[in-house]
Amino acid sequence: MINKIFALPVIEQLTPVLSRRQLDDLDLIVVDHPQVKASFALQGAHLLSWKPIGEEEVLWLSNNTPFKTGVALRGGVPICWPWFGPAAQQGLPSHGFARNLPWALKAHNEDDNGVMLTFELQSSEATRKYWPHDFTLLARFKVGKTCEIELEAHGEFATTSALHSYFNVGDITSPTLRSADLATSPTLRSADSAIGLLIKLTTLKKVS
């Protein structure tokens, strides 16, 4: 599936290393940089693949996942927000709605080390079908030899959230997790320093 994404025709060349493409229903943003290859779906601001040059693909993406509007993608790094797991109210989607709605690419820049992208999701009629609150949700990605992801929410509400990462594991019997205190730390760094994935979740309350 990942090879298929990079073989898609370019619809719009945003910068020399950043392009917009389409797979079935979904718009994709593809990074082809001297230091890294990566891809995102605008639906969910979903990181689909991340491959530092000279390394194996770090993330796993199902070959059978449908690229259909409103259907959750299986693999990569889904953004689970504003709740994680089953919804408290029957009939609402598991893991929230952020992963199933279209986001906007608000900013991007690049340097010799990689590419930085910021995606935004704002409250709308579509989100109020699931949740009554006003909000602005930002997802920032910095991809290169390492990958940093930051999720920042603005508004007055309580949430649970997760960046539900699927890793491409060669031997399922051997992975380890080190140097991560999940009980007290808002930041999770991957076990393997060669992977170098950094995740941060932040909620900012609106000042009245």
Mind listing the pLDDT tens digit for each residue in 155-171? 999 898 899 888 887 66
Q: What CATH number was assigned to the domain covering residues 2-204?
A: 2.70.98.10
Q: How confident is the model at residue 189, as a pLDDT?
A: 35
Domain positions in the chain are: 2-204
Q: How confident is the model at residue 174, as a pLDDT?
A: 64
pLDDT in tens, 93-143: 889 999 999 999 999 999 999 999 999 999 999 999 999 999 999 999 999
3-state SS string for the chain = CHHHHHCCCCCEEEECCEEEEEECCEEEEEEEECCEEEEEECECCEEEEEEECCCCCCECECCCCCCCCCCCCCECECEEECCCCCCCCCCCCCCECHHHCECEEEEEEEECCEEEEEEEEECCHHHHCCCCCCCEEEEEEEEECCEEEEEEEECCCCCCCEECCCECCCCCCCCCCCCCCCCCCCEEECCCCCCCEEEEEEEECCCC
Q: How confident is the model at residue 91, as a pLDDT?
A: 78
pLDDT at 198 over 90: no
Among 34-43, 51-60, 84-93, 195-204, the least confident range: 195-204
Q: How confident is the model at residue 42, as a pLDDT?
A: 99
pLDDT in tens, 4-26: 999 999 999 999 999 999 999 99
